[in-house]
Amino acid sequence: MRVLLVEDEVRLADALASVMRRERFIVDQADNLGAATEAAAIGEFDLVLLDRTLPDGEGLSLVPHLRARNPGVHIIILSARSAVQDRVVGLDEGADDYLVKPFSVDELLARIRAVRRRPAQLQGEQIRAGTVIYDLSNEEVEVNGARIDLPRRELRVLAALMKRRGRTVLRESLEQAVFAFDDEIQSNTLDSHISRLRRRLKDSGAGIEIHAIRGVGYLLREAA
């Protein structure tokens, strides 16, 4: 799962980012509305943790832009504004949940798990290719009816390719989907992840193949 954390309190932001990385999330951080808007425009996020009171504006103003780009994105407001009306406004503006500061990290993680379950119950967000079923909500993959465990970055590669099955996905687009903005990426890092993913798919009889389009990117299609 890729998370955009929009929080201007540096100590809180760094602490939350550290916790979520331990939970195997890919985390990008923004400390103001402008940076968050830019990140949302170029990155594909599954979850946004959004402070309301930012140095350059009201965090809620970002919600419509997030929804327009990705209707399925989960949004949790993190705010010291605790009045009932503040919470009502946040939820009515399109947030999935509203957590008042200060809060327990355990409660935040529980709420993240809760909002991630909702699409699976309400929409059945799954993508299929060959014998592979990818549950986007829970980031779980089944091949021939059996669950297989993939490292988080291979999961991100597979999701990006399956969403665009039969079409070439630019290398830059895959890197944006897989890596956080501040990750150090070597020239062959993406290729190494794809090479390992190819082997896993072949060994499990997935019925799909990943093809390199030289100088452009990668394409996923059903095996011949």
pLDDT, residue 120, reads 44
The predicted-structure confidence for 95-134, as pLDDT tens digits, reads as follows 999 999 999 999 999 999 988 877 544 445 788 889 999 9
pTM: 0.66
Express each pLDDT in 59-80 by its tens digit: 999 998 888 777 778 999 999 9
Domain 126-222 has CATH 1.10.10.10: yes
How would residue 41 be classed by pLDDT, with cut points 50, 70 and 90? confident
The number of residues in the chain equals 224
| C-alpha distance across the termini of the chain, in Å | 31
Q: Where in the chain is the domain with CATH 1.10.10.10?
A: 126-222
pLDDT per residue as tens digits for the range 123-173? 457 888 899 999 877 788 999 989 999 998 999 899 889 988 888 988 888
Calculate the average pLDDT of the chain: 89
Q: What are phi and psi of 22, to 5 degrees?
A: -65, -25
> How far apart are the C-alpha atoms of 20 and 122, rounded to whole Å?
25
All CATH 3.40.50.2300 domain ranges in the chain, comma separated: 2-122
Query: What is the pLDDT at residue 107?
Result: 96
Question: Is 186 exposed, middle or buried (CB count within 10 Å of its CB: 0-12, 13-18, 19+)?
Answer: exposed
Confidence band, pLDDT 50/70/90 cuts, at residue 84: very high
Q: Is CATH 3.40.190.10 the right assignment for the domain spanning 2-122?
A: no
